[in-house]
Structure 1
Amino acid sequence: MIYRLLALNIDGTLLQSNGKLHKSSKEAVEYVQQKGIIVTLVTSQSFPTARKVAKALKIKTPFISHQGAYIASVQEKPIYVKRINEDITYDVIRFLEAIPCQIRLVHEQFSLANKFKLSHNLLAKTVFTSGDPVFYSQQFVSSLSEYLHDQPVSPPKIEVYFENKKDLDDTVIAFQKMFVEIDTIQLNSLRLDIVPAGVSKWSALSYLGRQLGIKSTEIVAIGDGLDDIVMIEQAGLGVAMGNAEFAVKKAADWITRSENEHGVAYMVKEHFRKQQPIEFLRKMNIIKK
């Protein structure tokens, strides 16, 4: 099979556990790009965070952020945006404020969160590492609902960090009954992303593929999280990182090494070295366009 698009998750895939991008990953991306293969990012992170990684990897193709709700290039020209309606956002926040949780509205230009203090260290690893504080405002307010009453926001995504799993499970069930306008995506036992209905990493990746004239069977997707499972299952070649949970590995066609063992670079060397450059395949009429 000939692959023409490589889609990479960021956290736990491209980035090591220390949050850094290893030079082997940069070299791997450059290697496949030289073969004419398009590289994109597919992440739950905000656009500013994804943009920093895209710049570091010299990716000029539009990339996917906000769990699939926002597709744009480093030039900040979105080709696809879906948002949670202002009224729905307000109702969702009012519901969540009755539960012990950290709530974060993630806009492409700013984030807005409540001041709830989590007992675990999830927040420090997620909120404070997102984007560049110089260009990406991160504001904390005492009451999100009061703020939204005066200044409505229509975000592509809402992140919720719970104190206990039962609250997360109950919230998912409640939202399924209350709202048809949103979907929930569980990242782990304490983290939930709320997105516009129909939004997912795979829906965005398949949309981008169509825009580029690339079939689903020509896509390689690499990820490590529960929110990567559908993308890994539907891509032509779905790859799970060695550090991924069992459910992710079970969904994959191939399992590479962990993020600290340079899993992306290892996968690229094993698979793409066997594939001829796209331009050569076109000259040979193996690829028609």
Structure 2
Amino acid sequence: MIYRMLAINIDGTLLQSNGKLHKSTKEAIDYVQQKGIYVTLVTSRSFPSAKKLAKALKIDTKLITHRGAYIANEIGRPTHSSRIKEHITYDLVRLLEGFPCQIRLVHEQFSLANKYKLNHKLLSKTVFTTGDPIVYSQQFVDSIGDTIADEPAHPLSIEVYFEYKEDLKDVQEAIGKMYHEVECIALNDLRLDIVPTGVSKLTGLLYLAERLGIKRNQIVCIGDEMDDIEMIQACGLGVAMGNAPFEVKRAADWITRSQNLHGVAYVVKEHFRKQPQIEFLQKLNIIK
């Protein structure tokens, strides 16, 4: 099989557990791009945060960010964006404000959160990964509902961090019954993400690939998170990191080394080393 696209998750995949890029990873991305492979990042991170990392890797392609809701090469000029409508956002916020939780409306350039202080030991240590504070504005207000009543918002997603897991279940059930325009993704017992219906890393990846004329069986996808499973199963070669949960590994065609043992570089070495440059294959009419 000839692969034309490499799609990579960020946290737990590209980055080591210390949050840094290893030299071997940078070299691997450069190597595969020289072969004419389209490299993109597929992440739940904000666009500015993903773009900052892309620049460090010298990737100048369209990035699939906000879990597939925002695809772009430049901020403010999206190829695709999918948002929660203003009136639904307001209704959801008012519902959520009846529970002890932190609510965060996530846009491509900023986030808006309430000042609720989480008392749960696990959540009190949570590091929000929607964006780097240097490149991504994070605003806190007393009441999101009051704020967006005056200035309506249509975010890409809503992140909710609950004190009690029973509240998460109740909210998830209530939203599922009342709104078909959004979907709830429970990332753990206390974290819920609300996204527009149909938004996922996979739908974002397929949207971009179709516009590039790349078939799904020509894509190599590397990930480690539960929301990477769909991509891993759907692509030509689905790769799970060595540090991924069992469910992700079970869905993969191939398991590479962990994030701290340069798993991405190992994939590139094993699967792209013998593949000729895309331009050469096109000259021979092997691919279009």
Task: State the TM-score, normalized to the length of structure 2.
Answer: 0.94
Looking at structure 1, the residues matched to 188 and 269 of structure 2 have their Cα atoms a distance apart, in angstroms, of: 30
Query: Is 2:136 aligned against 1:136?
Result: yes
Counterpart residue number, 1:175: 175
Amino acid of the residue matched to residue 243 of structure 1? Answer: N
Query: Which aligned pairs between 1:158-237 and structure 2 lie closer than 5 A?
Result: 158-237=158-237
Q: What per-residue deviation string (whole Å, max 9, x for no partner) do you get for residues 196-225 of structure 1?
A: 111111001000001100001111111111
Amino acid of the residue matched to residue 271 of structure 1? Answer: H
Amino acid of the residue matched to residue 55 of structure 1? Answer: K
Residues 145, 10 of structure 1: alpha-carbon distance in 2 compared, 3 angstrom cutoff: same
Q: Is the 8 A contact 1:60 1:74 kept in 2?
A: no
Q: Is the 8 A contact 1:54 1:74 kept in 2?
A: no
Residues 26, 94 of structure 1: alpha-carbon distance in 2 compared, 3 angstrom cutoff: same
Looking at structure 2, the residues matched to 15 and 130 of structure 1 have their Cα atoms a distance apart, in angstroms, of: 15
Query: Is 2:78 aligned against 1:72?
Result: no
Q: What per-residue deviation string (whole Å, max 9, x for no partner) do you get for residues 72-127 of structure 1?
A: 01465210011100111111111111222221111111111111222235465532
Query: Is 2:239 aligned against 1:239?
Result: yes
Looking at structure 2, the residues matched to 259 and 135 of structure 1 have their Cα atoms a distance apart, in angstroms, of: 25
Q: Is the 8 A contact 1:187 1:225 kept in 2?
A: no
Gaps of 5+ in 2: none
Query: Which aligned pairs between 1:118-137 and structure 2 lie closer than 5 A?
Result: 118=118, 119-122=120-123, 125-127=126-128, 130-137=130-137
Gaps of 5+ in 1: none
Residues 217, 87 of structure 1: alpha-carbon distance in 2 compared, 3 angstrom cutoff: same
Q: Is the 8 A contact 1:4 1:38 kept in 2?
A: yes
Q: Is the 8 A contact 2:49 2:135 kept in 1?
A: no
Looking at structure 1, the residues matched to 172 and 62 of structure 2 have their Cα atoms a distance apart, in angstroms, of: 31
Amino acid of the residue matched to residue 34 of structure 2? Answer: Q
Looking at structure 2, the residues matched to 269 and 164 of structure 1 have their Cα atoms a distance apart, in angstroms, of: 45
Residue aligned with 2:6, SS? strand
Residue aligned with 2:78, SS? coil
Looking at structure 2, the residues matched to 261 and 212 of structure 1 have their Cα atoms a distance apart, in angstroms, of: 32
Looking at structure 2, the residues matched to 259 and 62 of structure 1 have their Cα atoms a distance apart, in angstroms, of: 24
Counterpart residue number, 1:43: 43
Q: Is the 8 A contact 1:9 1:42 kept in 2?
A: yes
Q: What per-residue deviation string (whole Å, max 9, x for no partner) do you get for residues 180-205 of structure 1?
A: 01112232332222111111110010
RMSD between superposed Cα atoms in Å: 1.6
Task: State the TM-score, normalized to the length of structure 1.
Answer: 0.94
Looking at structure 2, the residues matched to 42 and 122 of structure 1 have their Cα atoms a distance apart, in angstroms, of: 25
Report the more deviating stretch, 206-215 or 111-120: 111-120
* CA-CA distance at 1:230 after TM superposition: 0.7
Looking at structure 2, the residues matched to 23 and 123 of structure 1 have their Cα atoms a distance apart, in angstroms, of: 33
Q: What per-residue deviation string (whole Å, max 9, x for no partner) do you get for residues 136-163 of structure 1?
A: 2211111111111111110111111222
Q: Is the 8 A contact 1:69 1:80 kept in 2?
A: yes
Looking at structure 1, the residues matched to 188 and 74 of structure 2 have their Cα atoms a distance apart, in angstroms, of: 29
Residues 24, 194 of structure 1: alpha-carbon distance in 2 compared, 3 angstrom cutoff: same
Looking at structure 1, the residues matched to 75 and 180 of structure 2 have their Cα atoms a distance apart, in angstroms, of: 33
Query: Which aligned pairs between 1:21-36 and structure 2 lie closer than 5 A?
Result: 21-36=21-36
Residues 156, 75 of structure 1: alpha-carbon distance in 2 compared, 3 angstrom cutoff: closer
Residues 34, 76 of structure 1: alpha-carbon distance in 2 compared, 3 angstrom cutoff: farther
Looking at structure 2, the residues matched to 87 and 251 of structure 1 have their Cα atoms a distance apart, in angstroms, of: 38
Residue aligned with 1:40, SS? strand
Residues 41, 104 of structure 1: alpha-carbon distance in 2 compared, 3 angstrom cutoff: same
Query: Is 2:16 aligned against 1:16?
Result: yes
Residue aligned with 2:44, SS? coil
Looking at structure 1, the residues matched to 286 and 235 of structure 2 have their Cα atoms a distance apart, in angstroms, of: 21
